Chain A
């Protein structure tokens, strides 16, 4: 993926795309559901992609990948593509196109065991259209459609547990990664691309514009998300859970929250209750993960 695309200054999405694509030497076909990456990398009449790239609608990233997988299989049968040649299909989609709108087609493609890698960059809201809440938005966040103010403290619902939904499709490999830990992401992408069948990567992507922090800080904020156990790094392979990064003394969640404008309202009086609730959720998730990894 080349320069000249128009992602916001300080956006980590291109780093995710490059790191994942650099993890394989096989030819790759990229499927891109609607989202930040799609609108910014292909401003008509230009394209920042040096590899075959197809845009599908918001809701059918998974279905498009399934179609390409079917086409490759058919062409193999007719002898138009050699049997030894591996062609990778990589889907990039945002959290809106994965958690909410694209969930049905992703679910279908996973269930039919198509051969593709699905990469969801999770910036925790519909950032492309101005930051409306999505299923990935954390509890208490101030967004366009859940504004914090006198009558509300932001989003009142908890984040959807997408990893469990994906793993419930009996897939071989799923992993949660973070753009601030590129070496870990590269390792997971490499592992995933060497396997066959459906694979899934969920990558946290701090959004400078609508998480509201300075453009230079996406790496630091991503690191804090993992260091506070808000976004643990772990993977699932053949029924086994493994935590890839852990610390005995996680930083307090406030350190992560205070870096961002979307949680600014929580530092005012009355915010303590919301923060306590968020902490409880983070702790519960972490405990559940540790229990799973022990089994």
Chain B
């Protein structure tokens, strides 16, 4: 980005398309077992990335573009519905 392209007033607005895809950092990958997930939202609130959302059936749904694979979701899940596996 050249300096001429900066918005006036030096304001930078959030744009998810420009955000770095931190999913590249991942070496362990969390996978949700949708059958055992009860949609309690523990992973949702503890996920540092905010990349876990609910799908249509209120089951945890992970956005792998941004998931760094830290494993917090698998640790806090009371149902053990999230398992960490190799990042393939």
Given known pairs A3-B49, A10-B48, A14-B48, the reply for A48 and B70 (CB within 8 Å) is no
Give the size range of B's interface with the partner: 20 to 34
Q: How far is the CB of B76 from chain A (nearest CB, A)?
A: 5
Contact partner of B76 (CB less than 8 A), chosen from A7, A47, A219, is A219
- In the assembled complex, which residues on chain A have CB atoms less than 8 Å from the CB atom of B19? 2-5, 46, 48
Instruction: Name which residue of chain A comes closest to B67, CB basis.
Output: A3
**In whole angstroms, what is the CA distance A2 to B47 when docked?**
12
The SS class assigned to the B binding surface is loop
Q: How far is the CB of A49 from chain B (nearest CB, A)?
A: 6
Q: Would you list which residues of chain B between 7 and 53 have a CB under 8 Å from chain A?
A: 12-16, 18-22, 25-26, 45-51
- In the assembled complex, which residues on chain B have CB atoms less than 8 Å from the CB atom of A3? 16, 19, 22, 49-51, 63, 65-66
The SS class assigned to the A binding surface is loop
- In the assembled complex, which residues on chain B have CB atoms less than 8 Å from the CB atom of A4? 16, 19-22, 66
Contact partner of B71 (CB less than 8 A), chosen from A49, A182, A215, is A215
* Chain B proximity mask over A1-22: 1 for CB below 8 Å, otherwise 0: 1111111011111110011000
User: Within 8 Å of chain A (Cβ to Cβ): is B88?
Assistant: no
- In the assembled complex, which residues on chain B have CB atoms less than 8 Å from the CB atom of A145? none
* Chain B proximity mask over A124-166: 1 for CB below 8 Å, otherwise 0: 0000000000000000000000000000000000000000000
- In the assembled complex, which residues on chain A have CB atoms less than 8 Å from the CB atom of B65? 3
Contact partner of B45 (CB less than 8 A), chosen from A5, A19, A50, is A19
User: Within 8 Å of chain A (Cβ to Cβ): is B59?
Assistant: no
Would A42 and B12 count as touching, CB distance under 8 A? yes
**In whole angstroms, what is the CA distance A234 to B48 when docked?**
24
- In the assembled complex, which residues on chain A have CB atoms less than 8 Å from the CB atom of B84? 216
- In the assembled complex, which residues on chain B have CB atoms less than 8 Å from the CB atom of A1? 50
Given contacts A15-B47, A45-B6, A216-B84, list 9 more A-B pairs with CB under 8 A. Answer: A1-B50, A2-B50, A4-B16, A5-B49, A12-B48, A46-B19, A46-B20, A218-B72, A219-B72
